Structure 1
């Protein structure tokens, strides 16, 4: 990764600008937001690798903003707050923050914490990519046992997940109904045609824009199914 981009969220312009100066000195790009609602909008428009987020803000405070971000993303969040009580730090970490810095803070210490979290994030992203399968807008995360289509989380049963994983792992290869059953259910097939067909139909209803004209899972008449490349 050539350049990181950090989102600094604070309702005090002076603090945002001061943090930005130090981060840019480390060749880190910075964008600003003045409150939580603006920050969430910014995340939808830009690629952000880490968030420095003030707790006490109007409209949407840092705790609620963290909760909303964690519903969709796992990027690192460092909370800033003038409060130094342990309970505030604990709440921040419990809702999903990765680190907590108390105001007033040493800018060099904050920069060091930002760089540390970015290194961890890059390693985590590399691991996730190695544990994921991709095909056009379809992504299967082996470790999290999740499937997404165009960043939309698809709720699959364990059996449905294993069928998608099998077909996606060997995209382009045709599997007979018998082979799908034996690999997914881990038992010899016996009149398994209807069982497999029902599960394929349910998967299509979840991942395809038009289940009657699927773009992912294709039937090869007289043979079986395949994941279309």
Structure 2
């Protein structure tokens, strides 16, 4: 199967280079040279893209604005590119729903590796229940019979704790805000921050982590939210 990606970047030479390189790993590429055009392509194509590569520094409509609009109706993975390496830019992008961040200049090999990882994760997640066993370092989650074992010990989780763990583990490495976690796990509108997600994260850590104060599985991304350790 050939996956399609969209590059939104005003650097025409960079777009051409990326397109040439990713074609070697069976990826078709569309290109847009400004935010408005890119957003229009995403809206028109809907579910046709497996990944969007989005530059932050775009004319008129910057990458953060484009990302914010995309996230209103699509969960397609977004890899953000920027010439800035500052922490605030990364926090802003991740809090708006970016899946990964790459600072220019970057190596093509690193770009391809991240692109393939994001597409693979997205494809697996959207296959729904096709993968019933999730295996990590010291942990096995069986989604079908709803059990969790850590270091061969069966862990007693509530229904919502299990759902929360499965959601994060199924999106290994991806950062989620509390709002994103609440709407996906609780299946309800997130009207305000009532610390419900933080409370469940804390309870879950105490059950699955060997040291809940220095967790290995569920990590805090300060100023953004939480992610399941991609090294697990």
TM-score relative to the length of structure 1: 0.56
Query: For the residues of structure 2 that align with 1:15 and 1:35, how far apart are their CA atoms?
Result: 14
> How far 1:90 moved relative to its partner?
1.1
Q: Deviation string for 1:94-113 (max 9, x for gaps)? A: 11100000000101100100
Correspondence for 1:24? 23
Correspondence for 2:53? 52
Pair 1:81 & 2:109 matched: no
> How far 1:59 moved relative to its partner?
2.0
Correspondence for 1:216? none
- Partner of 1:7, secondary structure, is strand
Correspondence for 2:98? 97
Query: For the residues of structure 1 that align with 2:88 and 2:17, how far apart are their CA atoms?
Result: 27
**Aligned Cα root-mean-square deviation (Å):** 2.3
Query: For the residues of structure 2 that align with 1:126 and 1:40, how far apart are their CA atoms?
Result: 26
Correspondence for 2:137? none
Correspondence for 1:9? 8
> How far 1:40 moved relative to its partner?
1.1
Correspondence for 1:160? none
Query: For the residues of structure 1 that align with 2:36 and 2:116, how far apart are their CA atoms?
Result: 25
Evaluate the alpha carbon distance shift between residue 123 and residue 84 of structure 1 in structure 2; reply closer, same or farther with a 3 A threshold: same
Query: For the residues of structure 1 that align with 2:130 and 2:59, how far apart are their CA atoms?
Result: 37
Matched residue pairs, number?
136
Whichever of the two has the greater Rg, that structure is: 1
TM-score relative to the length of structure 2: 0.55
> How far 1:84 moved relative to its partner?
0.4
Which runs of 5 or more structure 1 residues have no equivalent in the other structure?
131-141, 147-154, 156-229
Query: For the residues of structure 2 that align with 1:93 and 1:129, how far apart are their CA atoms?
Result: 28
Query: For the residues of structure 2 that align with 1:122 and 1:144, how far apart are their CA atoms?
Result: 23
Q: Deviation string for 1:58-82 (max 9, x for gaps)? A: 1211111000000000000000000
- Partner of 1:79, secondary structure, is strand
Correspondence for 1:174? none
Structure of higher RCO (CA pairs closer than 8 Å, 6+ residues apart):
2
**Structure 1 stretches of at least 4 aligned residues deviating more than 3 Å after TM superposition:** 142-146
- Partner of 1:105, secondary structure, is coil
> How far 1:48 moved relative to its partner?
1.1
> How far 1:45 moved relative to its partner?
2.5
Query: For the residues of structure 1 that align with 2:113 and 2:37, how far apart are their CA atoms?
Result: 26
Query: For the residues of structure 2 that align with 1:129 and 1:50, how far apart are their CA atoms?
Result: 21
